[in-house]
């Protein structure tokens, strides 16, 4: 069965510090990979996506992610965190062969301290 | 492009009552997805439509749940005889079908069953 693991339930970083959120997946083939962000009580906003090609992808709000096939990982990074980045972050995977439905991780809550 | 919209944003109901939620997708999108998100979890797939055809339903979707997309535009999700376990955020997403599909989410409907 397809699954996504986000090992960190909570992460706290200082404003201006760098950030890395981990995501590992288990899938029959290399899936399509996504990161979404959710503010409290809100829907999900797409940060970035990977389908193929260059394994380092750039997204909105200064985020980037790197796909590592050998580690089945798609970690999200940001060089300098802003207080407005505090939210919950979800990694998700999909594949055309499975109807393109998204399979999500449990999420990582990011807290930013000033 | 006004994005995906959902109505209502919040719903409080008593156990045993029926509720109906509406989702209006991005206008040119032919696929529409429903997900459910419980506290502390990532969204879980419920069902999806391509145009007016319902192509897949999750085993999470009990026979008390029904979804429609009668003209291939907006969709409704109805829950009959609600139970306290139905309390969750119900998220709708839309996309254009294709091999590199990206889903865009609405703000969600938060349901509380008392």
> Which residues pair with residue B60 across a beta bridge?
none
C-alpha–C-alpha distance, residues B24 and B26, integer Å:
7
What pLDDT shows up at residue B93?
Answer: 97
pLDDT tier at B1, thresholds 50, 70, 90: low
Nearest CA in chain B to A99: B56
C-alpha–C-alpha distance, residues A47 and A23, integer Å:
14
Q: How distant is the Cα of A28 from the closest Cα of chain B, in angstroms?
A: 17
Torsion of CA A90, A100, A3, B89, to 10 degrees: 50
Nearest CA in chain B to A48: B102
Contact A42 B102 (CB under 8 A): no
Over residues B8-39, the pLDDT tens digits come to 999 999 999 999 999 999 998 999 999 999 99
A113 interfacial to chain B (CB closer than 8 Å): no
Nearest CA in chain A to B105: A44
Contact B40 A51 (CB under 8 A): no
Over residues B31-68, the pLDDT tens digits come to 999 999 999 899 999 999 999 999 999 988 899 999 99
Q: How distant is the Cα of B106 from the closest Cα of chain A, in angstroms?
A: 6
Strands (E) located in chain A: 3-5, 10-14, 19-21, 24-26, 32-38, 44-50, 56-58, 64-68, 73-78, 87-94, 103-104, 108-113
């Amino acid at each position: 069965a397809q699954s996504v693991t986000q090992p960190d339930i909570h992460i706290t970083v200082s404003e201006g510090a760098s950030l890395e959120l981990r995501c590992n997946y288990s899938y029959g083939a290399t899936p399509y990979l996504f990161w979404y962000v959710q503010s409290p009580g809100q829907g999900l906003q797409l940060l970035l996506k990977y389908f193929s090609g260059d394994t380092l992808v750039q997204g909105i709000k200064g985020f980037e992610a790197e796909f590592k096939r050998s580690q089945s990982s798609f970690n999200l990074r940001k060089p300098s965190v802003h207080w407005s980045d505090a939210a919950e972050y979800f990694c998700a995977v999909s594949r055309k062969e499975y109807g393109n439905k998204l399979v999500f991780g449990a999420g990582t809550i990011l807290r930013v301290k000033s | 492009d006004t994005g995906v919209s959902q109505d209502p944003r919040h719903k409080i109901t008593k156990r045993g009552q029926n509720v109906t939620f509406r989702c209006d997708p991005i206008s040119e999108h032919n696929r529409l997805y429903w997900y459910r998100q419980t506290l502390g979890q990532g969204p879980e797939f419920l069902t999806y439509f391509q145009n007016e055809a319902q192509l897949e339903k999750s085993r999470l979707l009990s026979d008390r749940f029904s979804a429609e997309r009668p003209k291939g535009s907006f969709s409704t999700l109805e829950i009959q005889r609600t139970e306290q376990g139905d309390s969750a955020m119900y998220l709708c997403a839309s996309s254009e079908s294709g091999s590199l599909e990206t889903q865009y989410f609405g703000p969600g409907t938060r349901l509380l069953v008392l």
